[in-house]
Amino acid sequence: MPTEEIDAAAAGSWTLGDLGVNRIGFGTKRLAGNGPFDIDDADARERAVVLLRRAVEVGINHIDTAAFYPTYAAPDRGATSFEALDCANQLVRAALAPYPDGLVIATKVGPTPAGLARPKQLRGLVEEHLRQLGRDHLDLVYLRQAGLDSIAEHLGALAELREEGLIRHLGLSNVRLEHLEQARSVAPVVAVQNRYGVDFGRVNDEMVRFCGEQGIAFVPFFSLAGEAREAGGVSPSDSVADIARAHDATPAQVRIAWTLSRAPHLLAIPGTSDPVHLAENVAAGTLQLSSEELATLG
């Protein structure tokens, strides 16, 4: 697919609460590629800064980040375990502050080196995001949960910060439908981040459907990596590869197009450390898959 004239707006837009975003955004999880990143390395830092600025230049106005990003697969600990590099927020600030009007930065809190944060720890995590990003408020904060039966107390702690004006909108990550129902009894939720993609069967189809009915954005993670998860890259698939060749596209572009085809409330946040891949990812917003191709992908 040609990438000479690309604009993220071509994929359409969605509204996160009262914040309009283009449906193709940028995730900072892969800013380091698939390995360590030294923020004190001037060349490495400059490459990341240039990439982030280029993302905004091509119309991306939705940046997804976290204090523990970028990450890479933890050596010898499997596809679900990661090493946190803890520098994405600083790179976002270096590249984009003072932030242009209309740029939405989504962050997430919950994971800590000692495990899931307790509710009383969430204020400190939010305040750390504010310091790192140089903001007086956060546009969207996801609660990234793990292992909780009820998230009401955690969400309540974030809702208090929302009432204080430190957070504008709330989201949830890695949750089940009952978690979303619990959260919505505490405060409005504008977005959900769960794993979703060609390789995951129809895991989270019901969540996608419910979010659409409620006007809640669904933002898939691991949509390119598939079962490789923290190892990153683009999961191999014969059907994806065949469709990519038919369109003179990349497998990543087919996966992004599939995500966008599911429903208008699905947003894509592919991450990369490569400016060529960034251009390809944005260009995927114009790739139209046929009904037969979509049926093949499932």
Residue 105, amino acid: I
What SS3 string covers 104-156?
Answer: EEEEEECEECCEECCHHHHHHHHHHHHHHHCCCCEEEEEEECCCCCCCHHHHH
Residue 84 pairs in a beta bridge with: 71
Note if 72 is an active site residue.
no
The 10s digit of each residue's pLDDT in 66-119 is 999 998 887 777 677 888 889 999 999 999 999 999 999 999 999 999 999 999
Residue 107 pairs in a beta bridge with: 141
- Between CA 125 and CA 243 the distance in angstroms is 43
Which of 69, 72, 142, 196 is labelled catalytic?
69
Give the pLDDT confidence score for residue 24 in this predicted structure.
98
Spatial contact of 99 and 57, defined as CB atoms under 8 Å apart? no
- The domains found in the chain, sorted by start residue, are 8-297 (3.20.20.100)
This prediction's pTM: 0.95
| Average pLDDT along the chain | 94
Per-residue confidence in pLDDT tens, the chain, 298 aa: 766 678 999 999 999 999 999 999 999 999 988 777 788 889 999 999 999 999 999 999 999 999 999 988 877 776 778 888 899 999 999 999 999 999 999 999 999 999 999 999 999 999 999 999 999 999 999 999 999 999 999 999 999 999 999 999 999 999 999 999 999 999 999 999 999 999 887 889 999 999 999 999 999 999 998 888 887 889 999 999 999 999 999 999 999 999 999 999 999 999 999 999 999 999 999 999 999 999 999 8
Spatial contact of 49 and 87, defined as CB atoms under 8 Å apart? no
Q: How many other β-carbons are positioned within 10 Å of the β-carbon of residue 279?
A: 19
